[in-house]
Structures are given as C-alpha cells and as structure tokens.
Amino acid sequence: MTSSSPAAVSTSFRTLDLRGRHLSTAALKQAMPRAETTTDVASDAVAAIIADVRSRGYDALSELAARFDRVEQHRPLVPRAALKEALQQLDPQVRAALEESIRRARLFADAQRPRNTDLQIGPGANVAQKWIPVRRVGLYVPGGLAVYPSSVIMNVVPAQAAGVSSLALASPPQPAFGGLPHPTILAAAELLGIEEVYAMGGAQAIAAFAYGVPAAGDNPELEPVDVVTGPGNVYVATAKRLVKGVVGIDAEAGPTEIAILADAGADARLVAADLISQAEHDPNAASVLVTDSAELEQRVREELDRQIAATRHRERVATALSGPQSGTILVDNLEQGIEVCNAYGAEHLEIQTANAEEAAARITSAGAVFVGSYSPVSLGDYCSGSNHVLPTAGTAAFSSGLNVTTFMRAIQVINYDRAALAEVSGHVVALSRAEDLPAHGDAVSVRFSS
C-alpha cells in the first residue's frame, strides 16, 4: 500500500565482496552482516526488569506499562467480554484469512506429532519413549510497530496440536485501545479459544510467564508456565535467554531476517520486493542478498530505489536496508553462495536460482527455506501452513523453528525382568568399576545375592 505522496528516501545498501576469497568457517561467520544491537547490549536492562517483576509483581507490571507502553494499567488480564467483542467486530475478510491460515497451520502441526517408541532389546528387556505435552505455556505476540494476529496462530496452533492443556497469551497494551492489546490480536485469540490473555509487553511479559505473579487486589494469580514461546525485539529475545533454564523457550527470535540466494536469472523486481517486505518489520530487520551476479545486484539496487519510494513504511525500510545487518554479499559461484548461506543461518532463506530445489537441499542452517519464485517469505508469514516463529541471529545453526515438539517432552521408560537384568549384570559391574563407582555395580549384584 502506498501513501498519497511518495517521496524518495535515501538508503545505502552495502556490499560485501567475497569473490576470490576463501575464508574459514569461523572467519566466514565473523564476516556476516549483523545488527550492532545484540542481546549482550540489552542484558543489564532486561535483568533489572526481570528482577523487578519477580520482587514487586503487579506493581512492577503497572509501572512498566506506563513507562514503555504509555498506558495506565492496574489489571493486565483482558476481560472475556473484550475478546468476544473483538471477534464480533472483526472485518469478515480478515476473519476468513485467519480461518484459512489456522486450517493450514493445523494440517501441518497435526502431521508433526511424534510417535511413541516401544522397543524390545531382548527377551524381557523393554525400552520405550513416550511424548508428553508440557502442562502450561506462555505465548508472546509482539505489538510494537505492527499488528501480528498471524503470530497468535503460529504460537497457539502447535501448542494445541501437542495437547497442552493450559495456554496463556500476552501482547503489549495499546494506548489507542484503552490499554488492551490490538483488537485483531484479541479476535485471533478468541477464534482459537484462548481465554487467558494479558495486556503485557516486552521483557516484563516474559518474566511474568517464567516466574508467575502472585495474586494482588483484584488481580488473580498468574501461574508460571513451563515453556515460553514467541518472537519479539532484542529485549524480548534477551529476556528469553535469561529465563532459559527456569522455563523452556523456543528460540531467541529477535528482529527478523531474510537472505535471498539468487543468480543472474532471478527477477530483480521480486528480489527487491522480498527484501523490502522484511525490512518493513523493524529498523533493525536484516535483508541480505547473496549472489554471484554483479549485474543482478545492480538491477536489485535500482528496483530498491524505485520500490522503497512507493512503500508506506519507506523510512523504516530505508533504515533497515542501510544498517550493518543488511546488504549484498557477492560470491564467485553458487557453491560459495550456499556456503555463505549456511554460515549466515538466516531466519528466512529464499532460493531464487536455476535448479532451486537442488540448491535448497544443500542448505543445512536456516529457520525456513523458501524454494523458487512463487514461495516468498510473505507466504510463510501467513498462509503456507509452516510456522513463522523462527530462530534469528545465526541461532538456526542449533535451534529449530516453532513446532509441535517445542511443547512436548520425551520420557524414556525402562522395563527389564530378572532374566534380562541378569544377562547384562556383568557388564554393569565392569563399567561401574571402570568409572570408580562400585556402588552402581553393587546395586545390580545385590538383586542376585542370597
């Protein structure tokens, strides 16, 4: 959507030229464009917020809502009537889009449920693994520069598919809506049957979920959760890092990223549009083009200048594209391009090359991979059926996107009879002595002594 009077906004889309350079894995990761603001920068401020919420509960939440969200708040729990009203007043086209997004997300989430394993190692020797949902989860939906009902779906649907019995959702209070979250967020929650919704934002919401908040006045107890999930800014990501271990988390999903691996045959118009689509989220968003074609780079730059001038959030986009986290990475060939993409570990990685499926099959580090010209990141944001809560800042190297198993635990069950234990008792005793833990072996031997 464009404004009535588009104006040019200057942007500087940087270039990192890796042609003719053969960097080690460590050097390549170090060279990748990244935002200057990291979780390390925010750690002290976030730790103070977490400590404040833990010690002062609802009083701290009220003061932080005034400080960060500019609302006067005494009861963050959203009334049921507000949820119902939000759904009743929802635009029918938006409701239809949300319902289709939910339908597709449920299909994919249902297919992800893991199977239990029951294995007989030998006669009387049985080992099993069963998957159990966590009891309670806290789902965070950002609400700063944009409105994210899609994130309600992405958080709630896999948790429901996992069988979680208690779900609480938090989204920042909005001055324009009387201190409640945006009504479209509330409508999406009501559509999914979520009754426990809080007007809480930022690090304070993560702290409240992780540690709980005691009842005070007319505020009921906010019971602590087992897992916290959801995307957010650097402060939300930092808070999730600091409470990890107290609760489980999905990933440290900070400001959004897109990387596009493209060759000379890619459509510069589409590449530019997709880079802009993610830059629209946040001034700290990252948009990266990886290509072996200097000609494509030039065409993309021309398209960026043209399309940025026509987009609504042009200043935000220009800031993101001009930041150290964005730019073009020039490579010698597709082989080096794939190496760069695996080192970068993008939240969203588009493949716009000849034989895109073959290139995509060689990607080992990414939150989600979008293959070909007709699988843009925007599709994954809303209606592909996949989940858009994904690891950022290179954490895709060891983290997964939000999925059903995020909300489940695998419990192993061991069931041996006497004969089966006797068969391995000598091995247990031998290994216990090798580790200088003889009582371990004795615990087995005593079962066969008279």
Tell me which of 280, 347, 350, 388 is the catalytic residue.
Answer: 347
Backbone angles phi, psi at 254, to 5 degrees: -95, -150
**421 within 8 A of 444, measured Cβ to Cβ:** yes
Asked whether the beta carbons of 256 and 378 are under 8 A apart, the reply is no
Kindly name the residue from 280, 348, 350, 388 that is annotated as catalytic: 348
- Residues 240, 251: Cα–Cα separation, whole Å: 8
Alpha-carbon torsion angle 188, 95, 387, 129, nearest 10: 60
Residue given tokens 């990223």 in the structure block: 257
Residue 145 tokens read as 């520069």
- Is 348 an annotated catalytic residue? yes
Cβ–Cβ < 8 Å for 240, 210? no
Q: Which residues of 384-422 are buried (b: 16+ CB within 10 A; e: fewer)?
A: bbbbbbbbbbbbbeebebbbbebbbeeeeeeebeeebee
Q: What phi and psi, each to the nearest 5 degrees, are found at residue 173? A: -70, 145
Helices (H), 89-229: 92-112, 149-162, 183-191, 202-211
List Cβ<8 Å contacts ≥24 apart for 172-177: 172/68, 172/69, 172/142, 172/143, 172/144, 172/199, 172/200, 172/201, 172/202, 172/205, 173/65, 173/69, 173/71, 173/73, 173/76, 173/199, 173/200, 173/201, 174/69, 174/71, 174/143, 175/69, 175/70, 175/71
Task: Tell me how many degrees the CA angle 394-146-200 measures, rounded to the nearest 5.
Answer: 85
3-state class (DSSP) for residue 45: helix
CA distance 255 to 233: 5
Cα(309)–Cα(267) distance, integer angstroms: 19
Task: Look up residue 214 and give its two tokens.
Answer: 């005691």
**Which residues are catalytically annotated?**
347-348
